[in-house]
């Protein structure tokens, strides 16, 4: 087996009536486990290597438990005897996804802060995530939903369907330390929220996207976008998803940036950049680059400025032209807004 084993996790999940996985909850995924730990698991379960998932019975859990570290032993004790399906998923390598348990493990690795967005192979994820009804009684297969709703009504209950989606909300699986999330349904499992992040009511963080922390998110962080420390995404602001429109720019927002209310970016930004409120910069936006005396020095497309620092983007109120000037003001987030005590 690969001495640089990627990850494993013990989980408990939900299957439909046909035995197909709908979702898996992994309380404490292990990233880059020790070779001796994997060898002990292999001996207990007859694991031969590769990326796979093995359903666990009470008997196999008992065989496995003595070979695990203390945290994993505690998980085994908590799920022993459950009638819900239990599973151990082993990822020897960071390969394309081949099953629903594998997909859920990689989403957990992101939300547990083991890996940053774009540092994990998520190829095939949509094919491995079934579209599910997320209810107050857990995940339900869409084909089985009408029956479940009828039975609930017969008991005098209401089955609340909060969402119909491939991705659940993150906080039903992971609540990272040191964050505030005003509306939990707006952060998907697979989001990465760094220490000190605040996501306001209208903020949204997709899977494989997130914040280094501390950050204020009042707008939308699309798939593949990482926002670095000290930056603020204003109300109604947005970021284009990675490779949006077939382009080749991987988006990120540098440190100490401000994207104003209802503004947005389709190019990566370096550090200390500002986009004024209401201005959306796309890769093809025509930009006038001005020097410190406000003289035009060049006319470029915004993609030519990708990744540069200390840029201030504004729209000239007289001409309507988009201008890029040197940002002479440092942007600092109000520390009171990021207190999670």
The predicted-structure confidence for 278-329, as pLDDT tens digits, reads as follows 999 999 999 999 988 889 999 999 999 999 999 999 999 999 999 999 876 6
CA 120 – CA 116 distance, rounded (Å): 8
Report whether 338 contacts 200 (CB < 8 A): no
- Write phi, then psi, for 216 (nearest 5 degrees): -115, 125
Residue 2: predicted pLDDT? 76
**Does the pLDDT value for residue 84 go beyond 70?**
yes
Same domain membership, residue 102 and residue 175: no
Band of pLDDT at residue 341, cut at 50, 70 and 90: low
Examine residue 2 and state whether it is found in any structural domain, yes or no. Answer: no
Catalytic residue among 218, 276, 318, 323: 218
Band of pLDDT at residue 232, cut at 50, 70 and 90: very high
SS3 147: helix
Reference 277, options 315, 328, 228, 329; nearest CA is 315
332 is catalytic: no
Same domain membership, residue 120 and residue 46: yes
Residue 9: predicted pLDDT? 98
**Does the pLDDT value for residue 335 go beyond 80?**
no
**Residues spanned by the domain of 49:** 7-129
**Does the pLDDT value for residue 86 go beyond 60?**
yes
SS3 142: helix
Report whether 191 contacts 203 (CB < 8 A): no
Reference 232, options 332, 118, 341, 113; nearest CA is 332
Concatenated DSSP letters for 219-273? SEE-TT-EE-TT-EE-TT-EEPPTTGGG--PPPEE-TT-EE-TT-EESS-B-SS-
CA 169 – CA 132 distance, rounded (Å): 12
CA 189 – CA 192 distance, rounded (Å): 9
Band of pLDDT at residue 177, cut at 50, 70 and 90: very high
SS3 4: coil
The pTM of this model reads 0.93
Neighbouring CB atoms inside 10 A of 207's CB total 24
Same domain membership, residue 94 and residue 201: no
Start-to-end CA distance of the chain, whole Å, equals 45
Contacts of 74 (CB under 8 A, 6+ apart): none
Neighbouring CB atoms inside 10 A of 158's CB total 10
Same domain membership, residue 192 and residue 95: no
**Does the pLDDT value for residue 333 go beyond 70?**
no
Q: What is the mean pLDDT of residues 102-131?
A: 97
Same domain membership, residue 222 and residue 320: yes
Same domain membership, residue 288 and residue 221: yes
Instruction: Report the phi/psi class of residue 251: left, alpha or beta, with left for phi > 0 and alpha for psi in -120 to 50.
Output: beta
User: Which sign does the torsion angle of CA 316, 321, 327, 332 carry?
Assistant: positive
- Per-residue exposure over 68-107, b if at least 16 CB sit within 10 Å of its own CB, e if not: beeebeebbeebeeeeebbbbbbbbebeebebbbbbbbbb
Same domain membership, residue 180 and residue 314: yes
How many domains is the chain built from?
A: 3
Residue 242: predicted pLDDT? 62
Examine residue 118 and state whether it is found in any structural domain, yes or no. Answer: yes
The predicted-structure confidence for 181-231, as pLDDT tens digits, reads as follows 999 999 999 999 999 999 999 999 999 999 999 999 999 999 999 999 999
Which ranges of the chain does DSSP label H, i.e. alpha helix?
Answer: 35-45, 58-64, 70-79, 100-111, 125-128, 145-154
Examine residue 104 and state whether it is found in any structural domain, yes or no. Answer: yes
Mean pLDDT of all residues in the chain?
93
Same domain membership, residue 107 and residue 120: yes
The predicted-structure confidence for 14-57, as pLDDT tens digits, reads as follows 999 999 999 999 999 999 999 999 999 999 999 999 999 999 99
The enclosing H or E element of 24 equals strand 21-25
Token pair for 299: 């006319």
Q: What is the mean pLDDT of residues 231-259?
A: 83
Residue 249: predicted pLDDT? 66
Same domain membership, residue 102 and residue 85: yes
Sort 277 into a burial class: Cβ within 10 Å, 0-12 / 13-18 / 19+: middle
SS3 196: coil
CATH of the domain at 289: 2.160.10.10
CATH of the domain at 18: 3.30.70.2010
Same domain membership, residue 316 and residue 210: yes
Report whether 108 contacts 29 (CB < 8 A): yes
- Write phi, then psi, for 253 (nearest 5 degrees): -120, 125
Residue 244: predicted pLDDT? 47
């Amino acid at each position: 087996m690969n001495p640089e084993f990627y990850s494993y996790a013990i989980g408990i999940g939900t299957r439909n009536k046909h035995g197909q996985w709908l979702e898996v909850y992994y309380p404490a995924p292990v990233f880059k486990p020790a070779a001796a730990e994997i060898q002990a698991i292999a001996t207990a379960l007859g694991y031969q290597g590769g990326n796979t998932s093995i359903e666990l019975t009470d008997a196999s859990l008992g065989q496995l438990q003595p070979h695990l570290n203390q945290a994993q032993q505690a998980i085994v004790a908590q799920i022993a005897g459950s009638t819900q399906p239990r599973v151990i998923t082993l990822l020897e390598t960071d390969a394309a996804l081949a099953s629903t348990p594998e997909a859920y493990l990689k989403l957990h690795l992101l939300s547990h802060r083991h890996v940053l967005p774009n540092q994990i192979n998520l190829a095939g994820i949509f094919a491995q995530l079934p579209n599910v009804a997320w209810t107050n009684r857990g995940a339900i297969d869409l084909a089985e939903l009408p029956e479940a709703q009828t039975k609930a009504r017969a008991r005098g209950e209401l089955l609340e369907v909060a969402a119909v989606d491939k991705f659940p909300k993150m906080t039903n699986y992971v609540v990272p330390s040191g964050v505030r999330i005003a509306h939990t349904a707006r952060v998907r499992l697979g989001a990465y929220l760094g220490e000190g992040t605040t996501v306001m009511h209208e903020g949204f963080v997709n899977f494989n996207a997130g914040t280094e922390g501390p950050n204020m998110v009042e707008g939308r962080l699309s798939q593949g976008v990482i926002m670095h420390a000290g930056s603020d995404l204003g109300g109604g602001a947005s970021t284009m998803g990675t490779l949006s429109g077939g382009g080749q720019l991987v988006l990120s927002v540098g440190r100490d940036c401000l994207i104003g209310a209802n503004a947005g970016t389709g190019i990566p930004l370096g550090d200390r950049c500002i986009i004024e409120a209401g201005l959306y910069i796309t890769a093809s936006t025509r930009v006038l680059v001005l020097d410190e005396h406000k003289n035009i020095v060049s006319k470029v497309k915004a993609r030519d400025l990708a990744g540069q620092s200390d840029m201030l983007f504004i729209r000239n109120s007289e001409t309507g032209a988009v201008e890029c000037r040197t940002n002479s003001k440092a942007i600092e987030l109000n520390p009171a807004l990021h207190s999670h005590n």
